[in-house]
C-alpha cells in the first residue's frame, strides 16, 4: 500500500493584516511583526514570539490600553505600543496534537 501525501498551501491574505490596536474584543490573531524594539525585547524575555496567538479581551477607545491574552498570560498593553504589533487575524484554528 502506498501513502499519498497531500500538499497543503497556506496563503497570507493581506486584508487580514492589522495592528493589534485595531482588533476588537474577542478577536484573535497571530503576531506577525513587532516594530517596537523595546517591546519586542520584553516579549522575547516573556517567551512571546511572532507566530504566537493573541486574543483581545478589552479594547475600548476610551482607554489608553488593551487587555490581551498571549500564551495563557494576560497583559495590559498601551495603545501606542499595540499600534506597533502587526497581526494576522484568524478566521479558524486547527491543531495537530
pLDDT along the chain (97 residues), means of 10: 53 78 94 93 94 95 91 94 93 62
What is the structure's pLDDT at 51? Answer: 94
Q: CB neighbours (10 Å) of residue 15? A: 8
CB 89 within 8 A of CB 23: yes
What is the structure's pLDDT at 61? Answer: 79
17-89: CATH topology is SH3 type barrels. (2.30.30)
- Name beta bridge partners: 30: 53, 88
- For residue 39, is it left (φ>0), alpha (ψ between -120 and 50) or beta? alpha
The rounded mean pLDDT for the chain is 85
What is the structure's pLDDT at 6? Answer: 56
Question: In whole angstroms, how large is the CA radius of gyration of the chain?
Answer: 16
Amino acid at each position: 500500500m502506498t501513502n499519498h501525501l497531500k500538499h497543503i498551501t497556506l496563503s497570507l491574505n493581506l486584508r487580514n493584516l492589522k495592528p493589534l490596536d485595531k482588533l476588537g474584543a474577542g478577536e484573535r490573531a497571530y503576531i506577525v511583526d513587532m516594530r517596537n524594539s523595546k517591546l519586542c525585547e520584553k516579549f522575547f524575555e516573556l517567551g512571546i514570539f511572532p507566530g504566537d496567538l493573541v486574543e483581545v479581551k478589552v479594547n475600548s477607545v476610551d482607554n489608553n490600553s488593551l487587555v490581551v491574552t498571549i500564551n495563557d498570560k494576560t497583559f495590559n498593553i498601551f495603545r501606542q505600543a499595540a499600534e506597533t504589533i502587526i497581526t494576522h487575524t484568524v478566521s479558524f484554528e486547527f491543531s495537530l496534537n
